[in-house]
Chain A
Amino acid sequence: MPNTNLIPPFSPILIAGLALKHIPISLLQPLFSKAMTIMSERHERVFECLEDVGSPSYIINPTDLPFFFILETKPASLTLFKSSEIDTQTADARITGSFALLIDLLEGKIDGDAVFFSRDLIVEGDTEAVLALRNAIDGNDIDVFSQMFEPLGGSLQGVAQGVTSTVGGLLNKAGENMSIIKDSINYDLIKNMDSQNSLIKKMQEQLATLMKEHRQNKRKDKKKDEKKE
């Protein structure tokens, strides 16, 4: 059965991801590699903490992008792979969620346990490795976008960050519009699900009553048998 929790959220990033699908990974890899080099130099402490649990490797899988990452922590590296290759790659642990959620976690803006409780974050494999990474990252103040654009250098970095900030604002607005579109697309589906849910609830109640009766009858039969003996 497919894991329906892996269906990406309908978001501007998903739309952007569909566009990125046509860009060769070899073009994106150098940007991520350079950002990783900067991060490992600037946040050495994160990687030192991970040595205590054997410097694990991680598959980081953003559900709304057409690629995933393998994060090696000694030496630090970040390698991109096409999403279609996910079952051919292995790591000590796998972390899955929307791209925005993963970035917010990396920057310490949201609580990892809370998004795990809500099932928006999926963790698999070596739980200790995941916990160590979460705690190590949370103990550091990481600014993902400044590190992503630092390889571009001085003035270009400023322009890129300005663009990021504007795009961030636009994405937020687009996100609001997306929820309206999403609700509209899902309207009939939600209506059908509501009626199915109430039907299921009724059936569950009926089943519970039947099971209760069955148990009571069983107990009665048992008592009768005991009396006979």
Chain B
Amino acid sequence: MMELVCPAGTPASLKVAVDAGADSVYCGFRNETNARNFPGLNFSTKEMEEGIAYANANGSKVLVAINTFPTAGNEQLWRDHIDIVARCKAHAVILCDISLLEYARTKHPELRRHLSVQASASNPDSINWYVNTFGVSRVVLPRVMAMDQIAYINEHTTAELETFVYGGLCVMAEGRCSLSSYATGKSPNMQGVCSPASHVEYIEEGSELVSKLGEFTINRFGKTEPAGYPTLCKGRFVTGDEEENISYLFEDPISLNVSEMLPNFAKAGVKALKIEGRQRSKAYVKAVVQAFKQAVQEVENGETPTLDLTALSEGQRETQGAFKKGWK
């Protein structure tokens, strides 16, 4: 059966995910060592120890994300947290930076190393280099790949493959996106924040909701139009010379949901299914984990699951993204 990897932004969410049947839970520390460094979120060292103990006692595993790139002269913070992960006996550490992969390999060879989506490894040569050089056991694939590409990679690597199946959708090559950095000076790659809340402003103008990021107006939602996150990639842009040509350019505000394609993931050799959303609430974690747990069981029974999670989705819309490529 495919492994269900679930998000936890707080100890309360971790408990909810474990109780809802998560096979694995991924989480991070309360600092810039992980790509969801939002205020009030994440784990202290003590909370991480307690969370891992709770998961282990209840048949779940904890994967700790240290998936940002260390800033020059400040590398020790990232290394110290890898030491903590090893000491807490987490199941694995999720890394993207090659210096940290080497550090983990030499200092904690017994600790499983997963390659974060932030490394953006998307072909067998790249993945096999991480496997052979740093002993990576699992690779989280970028959300820009088609199903036949995933199957091809699986045939040409020994690494376990993990793919996103639900939640926020990054349309760029992860780890290399500089849109947030361009608008705010902060990015998920270095500071662990995409569109940091400190730079976001929501303004109610009449019945319209205007979202701003830094100096940029990202979007303007009509009265009954569902809203989305204030990220540049999901903003509306003026194209060409015509002022009235305002439209989404990179991607609409929309969430990934490939529940219907789970049998294809199994066929392609995917080992683990990942749910995005460490920044979401425990109510979200409970609802999505329970739904996907049942869906994975349905796949095991030879059925094709269909999950409608629109109410929880960004912009209240869902897509199968690049997994089901409808364009050339």
CA distance A53 to B314 in the complex (A): 26
Does A88 lie at the interface of the complex (its beta carbon under 8 Å from any beta carbon of B)? no
Instruction: Please tell me if the beta carbons of A124 and B203 are within 8 angstroms of each other in the complex.
Output: yes
- Which residues on the A side are within 8 Å of B314 (C-beta)? 113, 117
CA distance A1 to B242 in the complex (A): 28
- Which chain B residue shows the least CB distance to A141? B12
Instruction: Please tell me if the beta carbons of A122 and B204 are within 8 angstroms of each other in the complex.
Output: yes
- Which residues on the A side are within 8 Å of B40 (C-beta)? 49-50, 52-53, 131-136, 139
Instruction: Please tell me if the beta carbons of A111 and B39 are within 8 angstroms of each other in the complex.
Output: no
* Closest chain A CB from B186 CB (angstroms): 12
- Which residues on the A side are within 8 Å of B10 (C-beta)? 135, 138-139
Instruction: Please tell me if the beta carbons of B206 and A119 are within 8 angstroms of each other in the complex.
Output: no
- Which residues on the A side are within 8 Å of B242 (C-beta)? 215
Which of B204, B282, B315 interacts with A117 by CB under 8 Å? B315
* Closest chain B CB from A223 CB (angstroms): 15
Instruction: Please tell me if the beta carbons of A119 and B209 are within 8 angstroms of each other in the complex.
Output: yes
Q: Using an 8 Å CB-CB cutoff, how does the interface string of B195-227 with A read, 1 for contact, 0 for none? A: 011101111101101000000000001011111
Q: A interface, by DSSP: helix, strand, loop or mixed?
A: helix
Q: Using an 8 Å CB-CB cutoff, how does the interface string of B306-324 with A read, 1 for contact, 0 for none? A: 0000011111100000000
CA distance A112 to B226 in the complex (A): 14
Does B80 lie at the interface of the complex (its beta carbon under 8 Å from any beta carbon of A)? no
Instruction: Please tell me if the beta carbons of A109 and B200 are within 8 angstroms of each other in the complex.
Output: no
- Which chain B residue shows the least CB distance to A123? B202
CA distance A53 to B30 in the complex (A): 14
- Which residues on the B side are within 8 Å of A190 (C-beta)? none
Q: Using an 8 Å CB-CB cutoff, how does the interface string of B283-303 with A read, 1 for contact, 0 for none? A: 110010000000000000000
* Closest chain A CB from B73 CB (angstroms): 24
* Closest chain B CB from A28 CB (angstroms): 28
Give the size category of B's interface with A. Answer: 35 or more
- Which chain B residue shows the least CB distance to A116? B227
Instruction: Please tell me if the beta carbons of A118 and B316 are within 8 angstroms of each other in the complex.
Output: yes
Does B70 lie at the interface of the complex (its beta carbon under 8 Å from any beta carbon of A)? no
CA distance A131 to B253 in the complex (A): 19
- Which residues on the B side are within 8 Å of A131 (C-beta)? 38-40, 197
- Which residues on the B side are within 8 Å of A123 (C-beta)? 202
CA distance A73 to B313 in the complex (A): 31
Give the size category of A's interface with B. Answer: 35 or more
CA distance A1 to B206 in the complex (A): 5
- Which chain A residue shows the least CB distance to B288? A111
Q: Using an 8 Å CB-CB cutoff, how does the interface string of B111-153 with A read, 1 for contact, 0 for none? A: 0000000000000000000000000000000000000000000
- Which residues on the A side are within 8 Å of B312 (C-beta)? 111, 113-114
Instruction: Please tell me if the beta carbons of B311 and A3 are within 8 angstroms of each other in the complex.
Output: no
CA distance A112 to B201 in the complex (A): 17
Which of A2, A111, A128, A140 interacts with B197 by CB under 8 Å? A128
Instruction: Please tell me if the beta carbons of A108 and B282 are within 8 angstroms of each other in the complex.
Output: yes
Q: Using an 8 Å CB-CB cutoff, how does the interface string of A44-68 with B read, 1 for contact, 0 for none? A: 0000011011000000000000000
Q: List 26 A-B contacts (CB under 8 A).
A: A4-B206, A5-B207, A49-B40, A108-B283, A113-B314, A114-B312, A114-B313, A117-B315, A118-B226, A118-B316, A119-B209, A119-B223, A122-B202, A124-B203, A127-B201, A127-B202, A128-B198, A132-B197, A134-B281, A135-B10, A135-B40, A138-B10, A138-B13, A139-B40, A141-B12, A211-B244
> Which residues of B are at the interface with A, using a C-beta cutoff of 8 A?
9-13, 38-41, 196-198, 200-204, 206-207, 209, 221, 223-228, 242, 244, 253, 279-284, 287, 311-316
